Structures are given as structure tokens and as C-alpha cells.
Amino acid sequence: MRYGRSTEVLKDVSFALAPGSFHFLTGPSGAGKSSLLKLIYLAERPSRGTIELFGRDVEAIAPSDRPYLRRRIGVVFQEFRLLDHLTAFDNVALPLRIAGGKPEAYRTDVAELLSWVGLKNRMHALPPTLSGGEKQRLAIARAVVNRPDILLADEPTGNVDDAHALRILKLFVELNRLGTTVLIASHDEDLVARSGQPVLHLEGGRLRAFGRSLRGGQA
């Protein structure tokens, strides 16, 4: 993958994620972690090579079908991307509203999800009044409200302290236990090591390791 006429930011990267797996995506700044996530959630297209999602070649998918494919992918952005004029409840409910859901059909589910991420008492708060950790958990809730098959998270613990980072990790582990495939881009080596999960390690735009646990095991 390259941006414009620049040098390739990703080169000959090849891997497969099994359904229900949990991996960390690691590597130094500029290694291509965010670019790889963008390819997976269809925000960018590869300059060469192919990407398959759910057994389908992405390039062969009609533009009209791509929104439905994206609904199977939850994304937690590094900068949150919350809408400040909407309450925490309405931020989480937004993907369901866009998909045509009725408030009476999803009200209970959204409230239960906010409770699950520890925001039961903040569901009517606006994002500017939330702490960094609360915003991160709100972004996670919004990403999973559609019960995606794949959850992608770009540096989800970069704006929180160690205690909140561990809490966020536990949320991802629980989602994975429920069957969601999880891929987390992170530079937090301590968190990755604590998790014991296998890693994809990018360096210089190339995949240098796949499936190796930082504790010495294999995926």
C-alpha cells in the first residue's frame, strides 16, 4: 500500500485471521499499523495485492454492497470520533439509527451495553464532560453495538492510565469470548505482554512476525 506516489508503507504483507481469534498488531511508530487497519475496514484500497474479508475478494464487491460489509466490522478509532452534541446513549445508538433501527427496539440493548462498559450513570452525559477513559469505553460500546464479526482498535489505551488500560483489555477479552475476532494496534508493550495474546509485528512496512506470543507461545 502506498499513499499517492510515495514509497510503499506496506510491502508484501500476507496473513489470515481465524474467526474468533485475538491478536495484537505491534510495531514502531510509522511501521504501517494504522494503514493496515484502514485496509481491513475498507477506508483505503491496496495499491497491489488482494484482500479477502469473510471469504470474499474485496475488489470484486460492488460499491453498493460495501456498506453492508462494513457493518460486520467494528472500529475503535484512536481519536474516538464521538459526536459532541449527542449524549453517550445517542452516540452508541447512532449506528443502529443509521441502519434503520427504531428507538423502541434498541433502547434496552444500548442501555445494557453502556452498563457493561461501566457508563450506566453517564448515558445522558455529553462527550466533552467525560474523562479520557470514559470516552474510550464509549467508543468501544459504539463499535460493538452492531455485534460485529471483527473488532479493530487503533491504540485504544493510548489516552488512559494503566488501570483503565487493563479494564479496556478485559472488555476486549470478553468480546472475544463471545465470538468476535479482535485485532488491536498498540505500542504498549507491557499491556501486550500481560495479555499473552499472539501478535502481528510490523517493521519497515513488512510483517516481521505473525502468531508469536510475547510470552514465547504460538497462536
Sequential DSSP letters for 197-216: -EEEEEETTEEEEEEEETTS
87-113 average pLDDT score: 92
Q: Higher model confidence: residue 211 or residue 186?
A: 186
- The domain limits of the chain are 1-72+149-219, 82-147
Answer yes or no: are the C-beta atoms of 158 and 179 closer than 8 Å.
Answer: no
CATH of 1-72+149-219, one of 3.40.50.300, 3.20.20.140, 3.40.190.10, 3.40.640.10: 3.40.50.300
Q: Residue 218 has which C-alpha cell?
A: 504460538
What pLDDT is recorded for position 218? 38
Highest mean pLDDT among 2-6, 113-117, 154-158, 160-164: 113-117
Answer yes or no: are the C-beta atoms of 30 and 204 closer than 8 Å.
Answer: no
25-33 average pLDDT score: 91
What pLDDT is recorded for position 190? 84
Average pLDDT, rounded, for the chain: 89
Distance CA 57, CA 86 (A): 36
What pLDDT is recorded for position 159? 72
Find, among 58, 64, 12, the residue nearest to 38 by Cα.
Answer: 58
94-98 average pLDDT score: 91
- Confidence class for position 20, pLDDT limits 50, 70, 90: very high
Q: Express each pLDDT in 50-67 by its tens digit.
A: 999 999 999 998 888 888
Distance CA 166, CA 174 (A): 12
- Confidence class for position 214, pLDDT limits 50, 70, 90: low
The Cα-based distances of 6 to 3, 27, 43, 46, 206 in angstroms read: 6, 20, 18, 13, 16
What pLDDT is recorded for position 212? 67
Burial class (CB in 10 A: 0-12, 13-18, 19+), 125: middle
Query: Phi-psi bin for 32: left (phi > 0), alpha (psi -120 to 50), beta?
Result: left
Q: Higher model confidence: residue 119 or residue 164?
A: 119
Distance CA 41, CA 89 (A): 24
pLDDT tops 60 at residue 172: yes
Q: Which of 84-88, 102-106, 113-117, 215-219 has the lowest mean pLDDT?
A: 215-219
Q: Express each pLDDT in 112-145 by its tens digit.
A: 999 988 899 999 999 999 998 899 899 999 999 9
Q: Which of 12-16, 19-23, 61-65 has the lowest mean pLDDT?
A: 61-65
